[in-house]
């Protein structure tokens, strides 16, 4: 980063990855993170997980500023609902209610606003959750690109989560966590990726640049709470889950490395990527591991249940392309990839997603 970038907020600070984590740690945590963790907030801001836990309720807020607001396979409304639903679901909770704040730009056609609302309603129906409160504001015509949407939400514990934790404790009696957290991994745990990488980022990029990379490139944006609930309730043994959004798989795995204090080894030949996405990434010089996804999760499992979780995932529409991509290890403290040409390469935390305003 240049010295100018250190004085002002730049687009890189909004692209996930190192720059965004630094913005959060250096500024937001400075004011809102309390050192003495309150017992009423078992998963606080400082945990920097996908959502917080207050009492026994999962609590999450997420804003969306994707550009453009309509892209192949989705739009800002669907993205806003799914982003919050998935961040609640990856802690093992079931979303119960959403709040929605719209910042609308002067000049946005009512027809576009309705298209976004109807898409949000459809996503809510798929996730079986609803918007129960919210707010609208209007700003002068400028750089919003139509609108910005915030969706916040609450989630609750379920029998599926209790079942999952009971299965974990069967294989790991010392396990104490009451939620599925980024900090729960230990050496030997397996890592599953629920489907192909890069689809969302490349779909947004094609809409930004007006280029078509291939007909199969559409956003994967979808609510994953039903798929996750099935895995927790029917199988169990899940320790950690994360949706690899901005910064992609590379950023998500580096977060696990930092929060679980464990090395992570993945295998290049096991990472599912569609041929069109791979070709487009090669052409543009983009690493598909750093591109954001909106309908995928990584799952850390106890080794004994990995195959069964994979089998169940593959039986769902959302998880049909799932693969076991690696494992946690105490042999090194980093994220590394066994490459197809042989040898290991370090997967560093990206500075930011290579595609700006992706969500
Ligand atoms: Mg997340």
pLDDT digits (tens, 9 = 90+) for 116-175: 999 999 999 999 999 999 999 999 998 789 999 999 999 999 999 999 999 999 999 999
For the chain, the 3-state helix, strand and coil shares in percent, each to the nearest 5, are 40, 20, 40
User: 265 preceded by cis ω (within 30°)?
Assistant: no
Please give the Cα distance from 147 to 337 (Å, whole number): 39
**242 C-alpha to ligand 1 centroid (Å):** 6
**42 C-alpha to ligand 1 centroid (Å):** 18
Instruction: Identify the band that residue 37 occupies on the pLDDT scale cut at 50, 70 and 90.
Output: low
**84 C-alpha to ligand 1 centroid (Å):** 8
**358 C-alpha to ligand 1 centroid (Å):** 14
Residue 82 structure tokens: 């799914």
**75 C-alpha to ligand 1 centroid (Å):** 18
**341 C-alpha to ligand 1 centroid (Å):** 32
Residue 165 structure tokens: 């934790």
Entry pTM: 0.95
Residue 139 structure tokens: 């700003």
Residue 129 structure tokens: 């959750």
**335 C-alpha to ligand 1 centroid (Å):** 19
Q: Is the pLDDT of residue 322 over 70?
A: yes
Dump pLDDT digits (tens) for 226-259: 999 999 999 999 999 999 999 999 999 999 999 9
Please give the Cα distance from 252 to 291 (Å, whole number): 11
**182 C-alpha to ligand 1 centroid (Å):** 11
Q: Is the pLDDT of residue 3 over 80?
A: no
**92 C-alpha to ligand 1 centroid (Å):** 13
* pLDDT, the chain, mean: 94
pLDDT of residue 100: 98
**303 C-alpha to ligand 1 centroid (Å):** 24
Q: Phi first, then psi: what are they for 162, rounded to 5°?
A: -60, -40
Please give the Cα distance from 44 to 53 (Å, whole number): 7
The residues near 20 (Cβ < 8 Å, ≥ 6 apart) are 12, 13, 14, 246, 247, 352
Instruction: Identify the band that residue 57 occupies on the pLDDT scale cut at 50, 70 and 90.
Output: very high
Q: How far does the chain reach from its first CA to its final CA, in angstroms? A: 22
Residue 117 structure tokens: 């609302």
**87 C-alpha to ligand 1 centroid (Å):** 5
Q: Phi first, then psi: what are they for 270, rounded to 5°?
A: -105, -5
**203 C-alpha to ligand 1 centroid (Å):** 19
Please give the Cα distance from 147 to 16 (Å, whole number): 20
**225 C-alpha to ligand 1 centroid (Å):** 13
**106 C-alpha to ligand 1 centroid (Å):** 31
Q: Is the pLDDT of residue 215 over 80?
A: no
């Amino acid at each position: 980063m240049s010295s100018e970038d250190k004085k002002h907020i730049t687009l890189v600070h909004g692209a996930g990855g190192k720059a965004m984590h630094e913005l959060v740690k250096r500024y937001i945590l400075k004011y809102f993170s309390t050192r003495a963790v309150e017992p009423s907030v078992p998963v606080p801001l400082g945990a920097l997980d996908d959502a917080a836990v207050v009492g026994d309720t999962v609590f999450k807020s997420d804003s969306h500023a994707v550009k453009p607001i309509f892209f192949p396979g989705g739009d800002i409304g669907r993205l806003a609902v799914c982003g919050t639903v998935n961040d609640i679901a990856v802690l093992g909770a079931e979303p119960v209610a959403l709040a929605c704040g719209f910042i609308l730009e002067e000049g946005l056609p009512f027809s576009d606003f309705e298209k976004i609302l109807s898409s949000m309603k459809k996503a809510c129906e798929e996730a079986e959750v609803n918007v129960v409160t919210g707010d609208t504001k209007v700003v002068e015509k400028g750089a919003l690109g139509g609108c910005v949407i915030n969706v916040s939400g609450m989630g609750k514990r379920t029998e599926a989560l209790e079942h999952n934790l009971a299965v974990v404790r069967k294989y790991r009696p010392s396990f104490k966590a009451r939620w599925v957290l980024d900090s729960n991994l230990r050496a030997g745990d397996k890592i599953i990726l629920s489907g192909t990488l890069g689809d969302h980022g490349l779909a947004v990029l094609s809409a930004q640049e007006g280029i078509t990379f291939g007909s199969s490139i559409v956003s994967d944006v979808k609510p994953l709470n039903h798929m996750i609930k099935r895995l927790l309730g029917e199988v169990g043994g899940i320790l950690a889950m994360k949706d690899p959004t901005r910064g992609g798989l590379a950023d998500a795995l580096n977060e696990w490395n930092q929060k679980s204090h464990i090395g992570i080894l993945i295998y290049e030949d096991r990472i599912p990527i569609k041929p069109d996405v791979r070709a487009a990434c090669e052409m543009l010089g983009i690493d598909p591991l750093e591109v954001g996804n909106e309908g995928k999760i990584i799952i850390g499992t106890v080794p004994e249940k990995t195959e069964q979780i994979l089998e169940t995932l593959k039986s769902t529409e959302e998880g049909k392309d799932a693969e076991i991509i690696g494992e946690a290890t105490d042999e090194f403290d980093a994220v590394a990839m066994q490459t197809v040409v042989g040898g290991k390469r370090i997967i560093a935390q990206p500075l930011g997603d290579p595609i700006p305003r992706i969500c």
